[in-house]
Amino acid sequence: MTATPATDPRPPGALAHVLRFGRMVKFEHTLFALPFALAAAAIAARGHGLSAARVAGIVIAMAGARTAAMGFNRIIDRHIDAKNPRTARREIPTGAISLSSAWTMTLVATAVFVGAAAALGPLCLALSPVALFFLFGYSFTKRFTALCHLFLGLAIASGPAGAWIAVRGDFGWAPGLLMIAVACWIAGFDVLYALSDRDFDRTAGIHSIPARFGVAGALAISAALHLVTAAALLALAPIAHLGVPYLTGVAVVIALLIYEHAIVRPTDLSRLDVAFFNLNGYVSVVFFVATLADVLLR
């Protein structure tokens, strides 16, 4: 008698479908914002304590918020993406993910974020609509202002602020400086990322700093934003009573930002992907490790 092969209970193509959703929302880019939120939680926890359940709540809230924001962005921008050669192969324009499926994922992620915010406390729940306003509102800003990059930075900077509030239930200079640092950091590298679309944006009527100010102007504005990031991170040290481990990490972060701008020149934009994806991932991880080390050692 021939043995019957075991059947896979998973629906055919289920993993591939999950991976398509992950690609659509660039789930791996959660790495950019999450370490800053966890760093904020670590600083806020001194003298207050931080349970594993609260850390899990912060991580779930961050993942839910970012997934909802990216899903909404892909839905709202689907017609623009279809016309842009760089983005025409994205999942919604090609039909790899249906519009109804994208909406379902976005609404589920929104519910996950609100549920996690509720678990973190009444103040987090009360502020969740404000966070969603910025996260969803960003998708419309490129249609009327070149300041869309700053709006994106502010939306993502709500993560560290929310993590601080989840631990302490208050707000002050420390989370405020972290918000400034993250907002300008995100806005600065989003300006760099937008360089690849500057010609399309001009012809399509999309607003961006590169489309308005050109390559040289965009690079200068991005550098200025990252200078503000460096200043805010340095100012945080005395405010939050952080010492040598933290400052060492900030020094590495500043060096990474300097290198990021050194490899992207007006005459050579070939290394934009390295500047955007690799170096900014290092920035967030280095900052978190240095901050956690400072909190634990001191």
For position 215, what pLDDT does the model report? 93
> Which two three-digit tokens encode residue 21?
């959703």
Residue 12 has pLDDT above 60, yes or no: no
Residue 22 has pLDDT above 50, yes or no: yes
CATH superfamily of 28-297: UbiA prenyltransferase (1.10.357.140)
For position 278, what pLDDT does the model report? 74
- What average pLDDT does the structure give for the chain? 88
Q: How confident is the model at residue 30 (pLDDT cuts 50, 70, 90)?
A: low
Report how far apart, in Å, the C-alpha atoms of 116 and of each of 104, 113, 147, 149 are.
18, 5, 30, 27
For position 27, what pLDDT does the model report? 63
For position 5, what pLDDT does the model report? 47
> Which two three-digit tokens encode residue 53?
């359940």
Rounded Cα distance, 34 and 27, in Å? 11
For position 3, what pLDDT does the model report? 47
Q: Which of the pair, 250 or 265, is modelled with greater confidence?
A: 250
Q: Range with the lowest mean pLDDT among 23-27, 160-164, 250-254, 287-291?
A: 23-27
Query: What residue type is 161 in one-letter code?
Result: A
Q: Residue 156 in contact with residue 183, Cβ under 8 Å?
A: yes
The model's pTM is 0.88
Q: How confident is the model at residue 95 (pLDDT cuts 50, 70, 90)?
A: confident
Query: What residue type is 266 in one-letter code?
Result: P
For position 8, what pLDDT does the model report? 46
DSSP one-letter string for the chain: -PPPPPP--SPTTHHHHHHHHHHHTTGGGHHHHHHHHHHHHHHHHTTT---HHHHHHHHHHHHHHHHHHHHHHHHHTHHHHHHSTTTTTSHHHHTSS-HHHHHHHHHHHHHHHHHHHHHH-HHHHHHHHHHHHHHHHHHHHTTT-TTHHHHHHHHHHHHHHHHHHHHHS---HHHHHHHHHHHHHHHHHHHHHHGGGHHHHHHHT---HHHHHHHHHHHHHHHHHHHHHHHHHHHHHHHTT--HHHHHHHHHHHHHHHHHHHS-BTTB-TTHHIIIIIIHHHHHHHHHHHHHHHHHH-
Rounded Cα distance, 220 and 265, in Å? 10
Q: Residue 27 in contact with residue 18, Cβ under 8 Å?
A: no
Residue 2 has pLDDT above 60, yes or no: no
Q: Range with the lowest mean pLDDT among 131-140, 152-161, 268-277?
A: 268-277
Report how far apart, in Å, the C-alpha atoms of 128 and of each of 44, 119, 123, 150 are.
19, 12, 9, 20
**What value does the mean pLDDT take over residues 133-138?**
93
For position 166, what pLDDT does the model report? 92
Residue 52 has pLDDT above 50, yes or no: yes
Q: Range with the lowest mean pLDDT among 29-33, 112-116, 213-217, 220-224?
A: 29-33
